[in-house]
Amino acid sequence: MLFLASSAAAQEKISSDTLAEIKRATVFVKVKAQGREGSGSGFVVKVDGNTALVVTNHHVVEPKIQIEIPTGPSIRRPGFPVPPSWTPRWLQTTLKNAAVTLVLESGTKTERSFKAELLAVDPQRDLAILRISDVKNLPKPIDFSRTPKLSETMSVYTFGFPFGNVLAASKGNPAITVGKAAISSLRNDDNGDLAVVQIDGNLNPGNSGGPVVDSRGQLIGVAVATIRNSSGIGLTIPAAEVGKMFQGRLGTFHVMATPPENGATRLRVEVAVIDPLGKISSVDLYCLPARDPNKKIQSLEREAGAKKIRLTIDKQLAVGEVVLNGEFKNPEVLLQGVYTNAAGKDLRSQVIRQRVGGPIVAKVKPQPRPVKRPPVQTGNATKIMGGSPRDELFIDEGPDGGILIGLELGFGTFASKEIISAVRPIYRTKAGEVRGKQHGADIPATVTLKAKDGYAVGSITVRTSLPIFGLSVNFMRVKDGKLDLDDSYQSRWIGVKTTFRQTTLEGDGTPIVGIVGKTNARGTCSGLGLLLKRSAR
């Protein structure tokens, strides 16, 4: 009995050699963007000569931050003390295009820092792949291809840099922290696949992106989160998800539709391609008008009437156009992506259902500036129309030098009325057209309102209450770095026109560089405003 217990304990103890290898493969991740700094952890998973690939969390390299802004004088309620003259509110934004530095052997005399390139991101699974090049004496990578059989109470070890430089004992970077924990739960998704490995050890801020391994140094998962106000419950992304990301897979679908012309409707499809090693050689799209809302379909390939097109892979997107014949009135279509990796294996995305036609399709065309205009809010202050005071605020500022040229809109329902439930900004930059983050429910079927060449978003007219019922966009010509208020055209109205008063939000000719807004507890975009250049800087 005593001998068996000692043997089991010895098997769960990590050896000094394995400990040294994992410590050396774990890197300190430093992130800097827009004057802000943050940090996290990561680990080397592939080495090819003097080049290494590093895994970390998406939220480490593109973190969300909150910005405090004043919104106006507070209102004193009878019987309550006089409030401050300005009540702070918070806007949430995701830092894009961050400068990422990886520190090898952090906190030691031999630590080295290298600029990293962001190779691929998977926001849905909170993973990111970084690359560093021209680095000598790289560490041995952590093998993620052989995952041990997991069970509750199994001992695991966490590696990372909690609290970043706060724990640094010198002027350099912090030394690594190693913790011991045990698996407390294996949580599966609706398909029965392992989705989360729960451990009973604390994962503090800064641990995100670090490796969690067993006693032999085999990867269990990637540290991602901790449960607040819990007695040390941590969550990790299973190692299998890292392998799937390296094999290549498809991300979210975005579909833009045009109104029916000559008995046909055109769908422009953009599919995110998550492929850090360039393994995906082709992407096909199957499209089928949906007729039976209750029919469950796993594959569209053998469905009668399904159309197949080959999408063109362009960096991290696969794009193409589907032509649907016939007249439709608010139809739904089924879409499925089929992609081939380098091994020649065909893989399939889930079948998704999307609506085409009705108010979600719109065609932008020049219109004369209206004589009668709704109430207008102007100037360089940030104003948000719609939503509840309890809703979470966000800010989405475009890349440096970019201006807002359009909006991508998704739709939902509120009290049996159709509403705009998701908004995604489109920017024009020196490098070309860039889409921002989608705010609101993840609805892949969208309509796009985008300015023609030489024009940009000058104002929006919205009808709002708790949700956004509808809007239109006024596009203005860009001239000498400013918007020409006298040279503009209006998009058609998108959504419904309710009894709620509509309001126009516009600036003073200053270019629009982003959007602000609100999202409610259901994940719906409930408020919207424009971010002017002066108020954004």
Residue 445: the pLDDT is 57
Average pLDDT along the chain: 79
Percent of the chain whose pLDDT exceeds 90: 29
Phi-psi region of 327 (alpha: psi -120 to 50; beta: other; left: phi over 0): beta
pLDDT tens for residues 432-480? 888 888 888 765 556 888 888 889 998 888 887 778 888 889 899 998 8
pLDDT tops 60 at residue 91: no
Q: What is the CA radius of gyration of the chain?
A: 26
CA atoms within 13 A on the CB side of 444: 21
Residues of the chain with CATH 2.60.40.10: 248-360
φ, ψ (nearest 5 deg) of residue 503: -130, 140
pLDDT tops 90 at residue 214: yes
pLDDT tops 60 at residue 369: no
Residues of the chain with CATH 2.40.10.120: 2-63+98-245
If you average pLDDT over residues 76-95, what whole number do you get?
Answer: 46
pLDDT tops 60 at residue 80: no
Residue 177: the pLDDT is 92
Most confident range, picked from 216-225, 267-276, 464-473:
216-225
Residue 356: the pLDDT is 54
d(CA 161, CA 55): 15
Residue 326: the pLDDT is 63
Split at pLDDT 50, 70, 90, the class of 415 is low
d(CA 352, CA 334): 6
Give start and end residues of each alpha helix (H) in 333-439. Answer: none
pLDDT tops 50 at residue 376: no
Q: Which CATH architecture has domain 248-360?
A: Sandwich (2.60)
Residue 413: the pLDDT is 65
Higher pLDDT residue, 235 or 266? 235
| Superfamily for the 376-536 domain | Jacalin-like lectin domain (2.100.10.30)
The domain 2-63+98-245: what is its CATH number?
2.40.10.120
d(CA 240, CA 206): 23
Residues of the chain with CATH 2.100.10.30: 376-536
The model carries a pTM of 0.62
pLDDT tens for residues 144-167? 988 889 999 999 999 999 887 666
In terms of C-beta density within 10 A (0-12 exposed, 13-18 middle, 19 or more buried), how is residue 244 classed? middle
Report the candidate in 70, 115, 102, 106 with the shortest Cα–Cα distance to residue 88: 70
φ, ψ (nearest 5 deg) of residue 297: -120, 125
Split at pLDDT 50, 70, 90, the class of 381 is very low
If you average pLDDT over residues 509-518, what whole number do you get?
Answer: 85
If you average pLDDT over residues 351-375, what whole number do you get?
Answer: 44
Residue 206: the pLDDT is 82
Residue 501: the pLDDT is 67
Tokens of 475: 């596009």
CA dihedral 221, 225, 227, 232 (to 10 degrees): 60
Split at pLDDT 50, 70, 90, the class of 491 is confident
d(CA 130, CA 273): 16
pLDDT tens for residues 44-56? 999 999 999 999 9
Most confident range, picked from 19-23, 350-354, 494-498:
19-23
pLDDT tops 50 at residue 327: yes
Q: Which helix (H) or strand (E) holds 93?
A: strand 88-94
